Each structure stands twice: as C-alpha cells, then as structure tokens.
Amino acid sequence: MSPRPIPVVLLALCLLAAAIQAHASATLLLEEPYGHMGFFTGTGHAAVYLSNICADDPLVLRPCNAGETGVVISRYDHVAGYDWLAIPLIPYLYAVDRPEDVPLFADAKMTLFLRDSYRRKHLESIAPDNADGTAPGGNWYQLVGSSYDRTIYGFEIETTPAQDAALIRKLNASANRSRFHLASRNCADFAKDIVNFYYPKTLRRSVIADVGITTPKQISKLLVRFHERHPGIGFSRLVIAQVPGSMPRSTNPKGVVESFLKSKKYIVPSAIASPIFAGCVVAVYIGTGAGRFQPDRDALVFNPGADPEPPLAAKDRKIYQRELKQMLAESDPAAGKSPTKAWERLQSKAKTGLDEQDAPVVILKAQAGDEQIQIGASPGNVLNGAAPPELAQQILAAHLQFELRHAPPNGISQAELIRDWQLLEQTMRRQVALREPAIQPVEEQDSLPDQTPTGEAAPGESASRR
C-alpha cells in the first residue's frame, strides 16, 4: 500500500518548524551603562538572547513554537530572590508585547508607565503590587524596557536544537536561587556560563584588564575572537539603538581598569597620591588594548519585528536630514527648527495611556476647557483616532529628526525610515485636506527624498528614486 499524501498545510508547518530550529542561535548582549553611581557602573550589563528557547513564565523554559521569537535571560540582583529570569525579546527591550507598539518617542514618564503596565499584566508573581496598590520598588524594572535606558550590542552565534534542549533541561533543573556577587557571580558571569555551555572554555574573565572581575566588554571581545578563529560557525553582530526621546543617553561600555582610568574623580586623586600607581593603570590600559575594541564594528541595525539591516549610509542620512527640514518648513513655517525639542516640551505636560489594543498613547489637555486629546504614540496607532493630524506630524517629525542625527549604525534602519517617512507624508496630506476641503484630492504615492542616496533602493522603487 502506498503511503497517504501529506496535506500541503501540514507539510508547510513542518517546513516552517524545521526552518525555525535550523536558525537557532544565542546572542550575547553587551548593554551600555547609564547613570553615574561609580566607576564600576561603566561596565554596563550582560544578558543572552536565545532565539529558539521560550518561556510560559520567567522561571520555566521550553522550546519555541512557530512564530515565537525567543527570550532574553540574565542574572539580576535582588529580584524576587531568583538567580535568573527569562523575558520575551520585545518586552525585554521595549516593555510592550508587539513590535508595532514600540513608542516613537519616550520620556521618563512613558518609560515608567509602560514598564509598570507590563508588570501588572505579566509579572505580578515576580514583582507584586505594594499593599496600597502602587508599584513596588527594587530592580524588577531591569526585566523590561532595557532599550529605553541604553544602546545594546549583540554578538550572535549559531546553536543547535540539541544544545538548546540540553540548556533548557539544565536551567529548569537548577535551584534558581540568587547568590549574586559583584566580583564573582555577576550578570557577565552568568552570560559567560551560558555561552560556554554551547562552546566550552570560550569566554573567561581578565585578571589584568578587569582585576579578575568578569565584565560584559571582556566576554564580548572574546566571543568576537572566537569567531575569527572559527569562521565556519555562523556569527553576526547587531546594534539595538536606544529608543528616541528625552531619557538620558547611555555611554560606551568599559572594562574595570578602563572605567577607573576614564573617571576623573578616581584617577586624578590617585595620580596625585601615587603617580606610580596611576602609571601602572595607564600601562595596563594600553597593554591590554582595552580601548581598541569597537562593539558596533560591522554591525547590522536591529529592526523590531523584522530582520536586521545594514546601517543607513552616512551620505544618505544627510540627504534625508535636509529633505526632512525642507518638508517641515513647507508644511508649517511656524513650527520652528527643532521638532524634537518642541515635542519634548509638549510630551512633558502630557500623560501616557493605552488604547484598546494596549498600544501606548499620549494624552494632552486641550487649550480650552477640560477636554483631553489622545494621540497614538507608536507606528501602529499614530494615525488612529480623531486627534489633529498636526500632532501626529509633531511626534513623527521629532522621531525622524532624532534618529537621523545619530551616525550609523546607532540610528534608524532603512525599513523604519521608509515606514516613518510614509506615515509623516500621510499626516501632511491630511492637514492639506482639512485646510482645503474644496480641492479634490489627486492620486499620490508615498516617496522618500528625490535625491539619489548611495545605499540600496527602497522596496518598489527604481535605482534613481530611493
């Protein structure tokens, strides 16, 4: 008897599942430091993104199903007494569930609101409300919305389904009780152990450059060296840019000695007290090459919900900057030269909320009366609702201006640029339609600047119009 034919749908699902597993990987995340509490904070944070491992809750791992994007797993200090916790990728980066809900422009109020909203929805067992119903204190906020605080560099190396399954068994069977220690069991130690589980003895601490403390920069540098010695193993680098907004910008990650050397409040008194000691610090810094490692070198730009892309060429970025300035001047000459600053001031007086799809919105008070105006704050909802189109133009213009002023690869990706540019053009056409209702609209096509940039053409466009 001949075998029964496999239904086409079932075959497609099997092929999809196989493709997902075939592209399994572990990505070491080197997260820039923020704040100025001491020289050791200059080392930043380390975590690992596992593309083929998911979790029903932050404590129990499982293989991913079709369409799931994996988890970020890391060690934290004083978070419900656990040693490690696993958070889905998009919430870990942005404190929202869907890529289309990532805010266009965030301030401290929005960041706090989105983190707390996600906690109340998904993390009550880890960080429950206070007795009065308010958000708890502690370090739970590090679990979600990391990209509001800092830029993140990723170093992706391929894994196998068998390796992923073994790691799931190992971590699920672990005691998972916190024994955090800054010098010997910190976040970078945990990330080092995860990578070494896949590729034994690949990462180690530096006794000289980091005085024996494992740092995110050290293990990232070693993983790049491992790739250079083993080019046959799949490897890639990416940058996850800090979300545009008024949040303080993060700084370059450093090693322990490097951080000490570049902190004037530590190295200057040390040099005065002991020039020999200061000279030794400089010698270690130069001898170990701590300042030569560039985490963003040859990196692709992370694009939420899509594949990473090459960074926007510097020449193209300048063309888009000029075109954006001209577009805004023609649309509203009174809007001023800095839409970023204008939106910051407007947002500082507003509240943050969620719409019916749990996407972020900005709630403004109308100039007259007690009426409130709600404007979508993400690409997925910025054109929804009845808010005046000039408000959508303001947040989109602020977003684009902010992203385009940052040099590649820390700025916007080509796909994001196309999406946001087209959204901006739609808001401008809406304003024209409202001002001139008697004029019959003509068919138009969304477009990017008329100049010819050096990069690849946008989808659906000719080489002479990108």
**240-264 per-position pLDDT tens digit:** 999 999 999 999 998 877 776 767 6
> For 355-370, what is the mean pLDDT?
87
Is 287 inside a domain boundary? Answer: no
Q: Environment class of residue 383 by beta-carbon count within 10 Å: exposed (0-12), middle (13-18) or buried (19+)?
A: middle
Q: Are 346 and 363 in contact (CB under 8 A)?
A: no
In our burial notation (b when 16+ CB lie closer than 10 A, e otherwise), range 181-215 reads eeeebbbbbbbbebbebbbeebbebbeebbeebbb
Whole-angstrom CA distances from 370 to 263, 308, 364, 365, 388 are 50, 44, 10, 7, 17
Query: CA 85 to CA 79: how far, in whole Å?
Result: 9
* C-beta separation of 419 from 142 below 8 A: no
Q: Domain check: are 19 and 165 in the same one?
A: yes
Q: Do 119 and 15 share a structural domain?
A: yes
**Is the same domain home to 96 and 237?**
yes
Residue 114 lies in a domain: yes
Residue at a domain's end among 301, 329, 363: 301
| Six-digit token string for 105 | 């422009």
- Tell which wins on pLDDT, 334 or 439: 334
pLDDT of residue 7: 47
User: Which residues in 141-281 belong to E strands, given as ranges?
Assistant: 152-158, 235-240
Whether residues 134 and 23 fall in one domain: yes
**End position of a domain, from candidates 277, 301, 325:** 301
Instruction: Tell me the C-alpha distance between 221 and 92, whole Å.
Output: 24
User: Is residue 441, in this structure, part of any structural domain at all?
Assistant: no
* 196 and 90 within one domain: yes
Grouping H, G, I as helix, E, B as strand and the rest as coil, residue 61 is strand
* Same-domain check for residues 25 and 142: yes
Give the percent of the chain with pLDDT over 90: 63
Summarize the confidence of residues 448-458 as an average pLDDT.
50
Q: Is the pTM of this model over 0.75?
A: yes
89 plus 216 within the same structural domain: yes
Reduced to 3 states (helix: H, G, I; strand: E, B; else coil), residue 369 is coil
- End position of a domain, from candidates 267, 301, 335: 301
One-letter identity of residue 413: S
pLDDT higher than threshold 80 for residue 10? no
Q: Judge whether 233 lies within some domain.
A: yes
When divided into structural domains, the chain yields a total of: 2
pLDDT at res. 314: 86
Assigned domain for 119 exists? yes
Q: What is the pLDDT of residues 63-109, one digit of tens each?
A: 999 999 999 999 998 899 999 999 999 999 999 999 999 999 999 99
Instruction: For residues 29 and 132, state if they share a domain.
Output: yes
**Domain extent for 23:** 9-253+294-301
> Is residue 444 predicted with pLDDT exceeding 50?
no
Q: Are residues 220 and 327 in the same domain?
A: no
> Does 276 fall in a domain?
no
Per-residue pLDDT tens over the stretch 267-283? 667 666 767 766 776 67
Other C-beta atoms closer than 10 Å to the C-beta of 155 total 25
Alpha helices, DSSP H, located in 376-451? 389-404, 414-435
At 417, the pLDDT band (50, 70, 90 cuts) reads: very high
Domain shared by 43 and 187, yes or no? yes
pLDDT at site 420: 95
